Amino acid sequence: MPWFKSDDSFYRHPKVRKLGKDKLPAVGLWELAGTWCADNVDTNVADGFVPDEQVEAWDPRHRYAKRLVDVGLWERTEVDGEHGYVFHDWADYQPTRATVEAEREAWRERKAEQRRKRKGNTSREVSQRDTTKDTTVDSRGNPHGSHSTPVPVPVPVPISGHLGEGQSPSERAGTPPTPENLEGSRPRPADRCPHHLGDERPPPCGACADARRAAEAWDSHQAERHRAAQSAIARCRLCDGEGWRWHPDGKHLGPLTERCDHRPRARSEAS
């Protein structure tokens, strides 16, 4: 709804001061008529026009309306055969029919644009969700989806335990892992599916998500194995700080070209 505007300094305007003892009722009439014009801007015959019929509802004898004309706040006029009063310079300070219609049209355009954006965002979200759902199903072997290739999650290699499947070559040979032989235990899996290798900005893909999780699991496991190997070296008195075995007789001060298994040996075996 349009607002009727009244300036903060209106009370000391020269035209208001000229009202003298009629100031309070005349300004009250001026304010009531102004809010009526703003409220009826769509149907009023002219901007800022107050017909005699409406004035008589507040000022039956037009006493204070005439005083507003005397000081220049109103003007006597006739519009389409209807007599009444019009605010002085209404269009300079108050809402007109043209400005109100322009503001309403701009508001409708903003609302329509917001609805279009919401609809577009919803469509993209549904499309991305459906694409992710389809490719995720494909990564699990659904023959009715796309042709994504499932990426297996690597089985963690234990630091110690039973020798055999799942252990590195050095562990199957009886040598606990060290920071160096950890690197060759198993190659790091790709963090994207075969269809999107080398693609810097791949589309939403369930197979890529599985591959990324597998690569992250590999990194985490390798870091844990590295920490375990470093801890074993730090606790062992038979090797140097890098996992090289020292000679058991204590006379040889340099490292041998042999990885330490962190287990003591008989002298006959060491010689």
* Per-residue pLDDT band at 15 (split at 50, 70, 90): very high
- Is the per-residue pLDDT at 175 higher than 50? no
254 vs 11, higher pLDDT:
11
pLDDT of residue 171: 44
- Is the per-residue pLDDT at 28 higher than 90? yes
CATH fit for domain 10-95, picks 1.20.1070, 3.30.70, 1.10.10, 1.10.3470: 1.10.10
**pLDDT tens-digit map of 128-168:** 766 655 555 555 555 545 444 455 555 444 444 333 444 44
Structure tokens, 77 = 């006029």
- Is the per-residue pLDDT at 5 higher than 80? yes
pLDDT of residue 242: 63
Q: How far is CA 65 from CA 16, 22, 170, in A?
A: 13, 11, 107
- The residue extents of the domains of the chain are 10-95, 122-233, 236-271
**pLDDT tens-digit map of 92-125:** 888 888 888 888 888 888 989 888 888 887 777 7
pTM of the model: 0.42
* Per-residue pLDDT band at 222 (split at 50, 70, 90): confident
Half-sphere exposure of residue 85: CA atoms within 13 angstroms, side-chain side: 27
pLDDT of residue 259: 67
pLDDT of residue 161: 37
Q: Say if CB 211 and CB 189 are below 8 A apart.
A: yes
- CA 122/CA 261 separation, integer angstroms: 60
Q: What is the 3-state secondary structure (H, E, C) of the chain?
A: CCCCCCCCCHHHCHHHHCCHHHHHHHHHHHHHHHHHHHHCCCCCCCCCEEEHHHHHHHCCCCHHHHHHHHHCCEEEEEECCEEEEEECCHHHHCCCHHHHHHHHHHHHHHHHHHHHHHHHHHHHHHHHHHHHHHHHHHHCCCCCCCCCCCCCCCCCCCCCCCCCCCCCHHHHCCCCCCCCCCCCCCCCCCCCCHHHCCCCCCCCCHHHHHHHHHHHHHHHHHHHHHHHHHHHHHHCCCECCCCEECCCCCCCCCCCCCECCCCCCCHHHHC
**pLDDT tens-digit map of 233-262:** 666 666 665 666 666 555 454 545 566 766
- Is the per-residue pLDDT at 264 higher than 70? no
**pLDDT tens-digit map of 181-221:** 544 456 888 888 887 877 777 788 888 888 888 888 878 88
